[in-house]
Amino acid sequence: MTALFADMPMVMRLHGLGPDAFGWAQVANALGVVVLTPLITPWLSQRIAGGPRLDILAAATLWTTACMAAAAFATTTAGFSLAGFGVALGETAWFVVAVGIVHRIAPPDQRGLYHGVWATTLPVAWIVSPLLAAFSLETGGPHMVAATTCVVGLIGVALCIPLARHLQDRF
């Protein structure tokens, strides 16, 4: 998800698109969040009420990865905006499910601490994402950005597997 804000502008600039194009992609993402959140949150809430749903987290990660990899091949404001809108679905699902997982695994008296630790890991992505995108653009262009985006997303999905096994034993 950080790629939407950190990597997309670099790829857009490569295609000669300016800040106005990035603004439209951000509007599309915000519109997607505003439209999709009230539609999918009740469904997600029902699913996570029964236990942690790493399958939904993995699916949201795959969807977001696919949208951002596709954005690496976009060349127009409309293409980047479509990717931004698409990311909103995975973004919304990811945050709802991830917060639910953190809440479930934390001991009741340490939930604030667990949520704080989880929230402080997000800035790492804000640092790594643009560095990886810049390196990828420099060494292989948009194709390399798409490839590294897919690799990182698949690593995220793969990390869901051991966590799912661990949580399955607990819940």
pLDDT of residue 171: 64
The structure's pTM equals 0.88
Q: Which domains does the chain have, with CATH numbers?
A: 2-170 (1.20.1250.20)
Cα 53 to its chain centre, rounded Å, is 16
**What's the pLDDT tens digit per position in 45-85?**
999 888 888 999 999 999 999 999 999 999 999 999 999 99
- Mean pLDDT, rounded, of the chain: 91
Distances (CA, A) of 88 to 30, 32, 63, 66: 7, 5, 10, 12
Residue % of the chain over a pLDDT of 70: 99
